[in-house]
């Protein structure tokens, strides 16, 4: 099987009826970028910038951040890289950051990610400058984690706009273009998408946090790991509404959570109209093999039916369709 996947490396992720799926990988360390060449992925759809903070003994200063981002962009060449600003807190706390050392009752829902970055805006400003400088002469794709309200996105983007102006005023080389995105991880934001979409370039659905909040089930608790299913109508209906809302706008929508790395779940996402996935590198081969064996004209009505049955039946139905179609 591994050889079969390796032979797919240089083949496009395209369905039998010619639908091209953008298949990207999630990464976080310099070494992870090798996976681009190994898998033949189209780019990095989620670069988790907090990894550098997590593996450092002290707060990484702006120069160190910039060096990492530039190395990653160099290694990616003309393949796009989406940098996610720091998602610190929750399960990812920093021992050297005193303000964050205190225990929270519910860290996943606590002072983390963009919430922390907007309050400690020195951190965000330094990261914005590092990203803008690293992407000089190229396109910078940046997205913000755990946005719950449109104003948080506006505030985060403003920091980038200000830092860009600071560099421009000093005659520094700037990115050719900046594309701004938001991670949809908090259900409340889905209720305000119409307010947000006109201001966005792309949306990336983080299904790890999103389903944690949708089911009120801690993603890190092994006792809950098997209890809720990504093929539940709750998830499928929720996601299909978001995908439909982005359709016909200029906002491109993708999924960057673990759900997209599993062939059956990825098949459901494609059946709902999703065309961009960012997944764990190990998933690229199996997911690409699935993509190349499906016809979306047959799949779409099958997936449309899944929202009217329980997760168990949906899983059975989709597995059966896959087997009958040589997936």
Binding site residues, ligand PEP, CB under 6 A: 46, 48, 87, 185, 206-209, 256-257
135 contacts 172 by C-beta, under 8 angstroms: no
The item of Mg ion, ligand PEP, none sharing an interface with residue 196, based on CB under 5 to 8 Å by kind, is none
CB of 129 to ligand PEP, least distance (A): 23
The item of Mg ion, ligand PEP, none sharing an interface with residue 48, based on CB under 5 to 8 Å by kind, is ligand PEP
Binding site for Mg ion (CB under 5 A): 185, 206, 209
What are the tokens at 52? 């550098």
DSSP state of 80: -
Residue 137 CA to residue 131 CA, distance in Å, equals: 12
Q: Which is nearer to ligand PEP, 76 or 82 (CB)?
A: 82
Give me the helices (H) in 170-310, please: 187-190, 193-196, 207-214, 233-246, 263-271, 284-293, 296-306
Residue 23 CA to residue 41 CA, distance in Å, equals: 6
CB of 205 to Mg ion, least distance (A): 10
CB of 293 to ligand PEP, least distance (A): 26
CB of 70 to ligand PEP, least distance (A): 22
Q: Are strands 276-279 and 22-27 parallel, antiparallel or unpaired?
A: parallel
The item of ligand PEP, Mg ion, none sharing an interface with residue 256, based on CB under 5 to 8 Å by kind, is ligand PEP
Q: Which is nearer to Mg ion, 206 or 260 (CB)?
A: 206
DSSP state of 26: E
Q: Which is nearer to ligand PEP, 49 or 163 (CB)?
A: 49
Q: Which of 49, 53, 113 is nearest to 83 (CA)?
A: 49
Q: Which is nearer to Mg ion, 152 or 185 (CB)?
A: 185
The item of Mg ion, ligand PEP, none sharing an interface with residue 32, based on CB under 5 to 8 Å by kind, is none
Phi-psi label, residue 93: left if phi above 0, alpha if psi -120 to 50, beta otherwise: beta
What are the tokens at 53? 């903070």
Q: Are strands 276-279 and 81-84 parallel, antiparallel or unpaired?
A: unpaired
CB of 207 to ligand PEP, least distance (A): 5
CB of 305 to ligand PEP, least distance (A): 26
Q: Which is nearer to ligand PEP, 206 or 286 (CB)?
A: 206
Q: Which is nearer to Mg ion, 185 or 258 (CB)?
A: 185
């Amino acid at each position: 099987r591994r050889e079969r996947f390796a032979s797919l490396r240089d083949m496009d992720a395209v369905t039998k009826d010619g639908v091209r799926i953008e298949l990207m990988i999630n990464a976080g360390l310099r070494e992870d970028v090798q996976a681009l060449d190994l898998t033949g992925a189209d780019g990095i759809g989620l670069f988790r910038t907090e990894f550098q903070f997590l593996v450092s003994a002290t707060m990484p200063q702006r120069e160190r951040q910039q060096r990492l981002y530039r190395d990653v962009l160099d290694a990616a060449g003309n393949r796009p890289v989406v940098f996610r600003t720091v998602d610190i807190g929750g399960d990812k706390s920093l021992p050297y950051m005193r303000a964050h050392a205190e225990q929270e009752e519910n860290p996943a829902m606590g002072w983390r990610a963009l919430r922390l970055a907007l309050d400690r805006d020195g951190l965000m400003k330094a990261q914005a400058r590092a990203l803008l400088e690293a992407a000089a002469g190229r396109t910078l794709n940046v997205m913000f984690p755990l946005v719950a309200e449109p104003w948080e996105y506006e505030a985060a983007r403003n920091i980038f706009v200000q830092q860009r102006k600071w560099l421009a005023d000093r005659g520094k080389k700037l990115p050719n273009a900046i594309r701004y995105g938001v991670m949809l991880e908090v259900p409340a934001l889905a209720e305000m998408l119409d307010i947000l979409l006109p201001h966005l370039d792309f949306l990336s659905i983080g299904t790890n946090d999103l389903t944690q909040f949708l089911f009120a089930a801690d993603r890190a608790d092994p006792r809950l790991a098997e209890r809720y299913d990504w093929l539940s109508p709750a998830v499928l209906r929720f996601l299909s509404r978001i995908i439909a809302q982005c359709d016909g706008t200029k906002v491109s929508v993708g999924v960057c959570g673990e759900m997209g790395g599993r062939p059956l779940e990825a098949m459901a996402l494609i059946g709902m109209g999703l065309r961009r996935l960012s997944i764990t590198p190990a998933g690229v081969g199996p997911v690409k093999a699935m993509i190349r064996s499906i016809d979306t004209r047959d799949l779409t009505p099958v997936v449309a039916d899944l929202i009217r049955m329980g997760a168990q039946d949906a899983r059975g139905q989709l597995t059966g369709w896959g087997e009958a179609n040589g997936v």
